Amino acid sequence: MTKQLISLDIPDAFVIKQTSFTDQRGQFSRLFCQKTLAPILAHREVKQVNFSRTTIQGTVRGLHYQRSPEAEMKFIRCIQGSVWDVMVDLRPDSPTFLQWHAEELSQENNTMIVIPEGCAHGFQALAAESELIYFHTAFYAEMAEAGVHVQDPDLAIDWPLPVNNLSIRDAELPTVEKWLKDLSG
Ligand SMILES: Cc1cn([C@H]2C[C@H](O)[C@@H](COP(=O)(O)OP(=O)(O)O[C@H]3O[C@@H](C)C(=O)[C@@H](O)[C@H]3O)O2)c(=O)[nH]c1=O
């Protein structure tokens, strides 16, 4: 049920075009298959599956990642509504360090995005009541949570709608400049 596997410019990041079956009863989709995704998963395994619903259009969540050794790869699909999904490469040794990539994920487009370890993830709800499902290759570790601010001018992420409804935690995330200073001690 995987139609196409597309490597992105950001190393180890992918877009997966999946398929779905529709008949008179409705729809059937396979969201995750360990065998089909083995070339991406390699030694990893899915440890946790998460769900989020975002009520208000324009809401932004992110940009989040887990620090090593709790670093994780995430496979993300939109199962209701649509979101503008963003990853930012925060791996200082990566050729695409601080570059971002965005992809629209929607209920209709059967697109899954793969965020590798060391890249931060965020999204903006393009529609009210947008729902995401996440497959994570590490357990949630509160102490390892980190991130950068979605409106950092140095990243200049081109959010399609005015940024709205940030959580208190997300509004307080550092700029990349501050994050880099903290990283180097
Ligand atoms: C991410 C996560 C949160 N929580 C708890 C912490 C908190 O009390 C509550 C809500 O968490 P947050 O406010 O961090 O939810 P949210 O801002 O939606 O966090 C998510 O944002 C997107 C962009 C991602 O990439 C996800 O991996 C995750 O970080 O749920 C867990 O118990 N397990 C988890 O895996």
* Host domain of residue 8: 2-183
pLDDT score recorded for residue 184: 83
Q: Enumerate the active-site residues.
A: 64, 134
Q: Which atom of ligand 1 is nearest to the CA of 123?
A: 23
User: Within a 13 Å sphere around the CA of 38, how many CA atoms are in the beta-carbon half?
Assistant: 2
- Which of 54, 63, 64, 86 has most ligand 1 atoms within 8 Å of its beta carbon, as the pocket-test mutant? 64
ipTM tops the 0.95 cut = yes
Domain count, the chain: 1
pLDDT band for position 1 (cuts 50, 70, 90): low
> What is the tens place of the pLDDT at every residue in 35-79?
999 999 999 999 999 999 999 999 999 999 999 999 999 999 999
CA of 28 from ligand 1 middle (Å) equals 27
Say if residues 29 and 20 touch (Cβ distance below 8 Å). Answer: yes
| Type of residue at 140 | Y
**How far, CA to CA in Å, does 57 sit from each of 10, 123, 129, 140, 166?**
28, 11, 8, 27, 12
| Section 175-185 average pLDDT | 92
> What is the tens place of the pLDDT at every residue in 110-155?
999 999 999 999 999 999 999 999 999 999 999 999 999 999 999 9
CB atoms within 10 A of CB 3: 9
CB atoms within 10 A of CB 7: 12
CB atoms within 10 A of CB 19: 11
Question: What token pair was written down for 77?
Answer: 């699909």
> What is the percentage of the chain residues whose pLDDT exceeds 90?
96
CA of 162 from ligand 1 middle (Å) equals 22
pLDDT score recorded for residue 183: 86
* CA separation for the pair 23, 43 (Å, rounded): 37
CATH code of the domain in which 158 resides: 2.60.120.10
Q: Is the pLDDT at 2 greater than 70, yes or no?
A: no
DSSP code of 138?
S
CA end-to-end span of the chain? 46
Pocket residues: Cβ below 6 A from ligand 1: 50, 52, 61-62, 64, 121-122, 134, 140, 167, 169
> Which amino acid residue places its CA nearest to atom 2 of ligand 1?
140
| Section 164-184 average pLDDT | 96
Say if residues 110 and 2 touch (Cβ distance below 8 Å). Answer: no
> What is the tens place of the pLDDT at every residue in 26-35?
999 999 999 9
| Section 148-164 average pLDDT | 98
Nearest partner of 149 among 59, 63, 83, judged by Cα? 63
Q: Is the pLDDT at 6 greater than 80, yes or no?
A: yes
CA of 61 from ligand 1 middle (Å) equals 9
- Which of 46, 47, 52 has most ligand 1 atoms within 8 Å of its beta carbon, as the pocket-test mutant? 52
CA of 109 from ligand 1 middle (Å) equals 24
Give the distance, in angstroms, between the CA of residue 59 and the centroid of all CA atoms in the same chain: 15
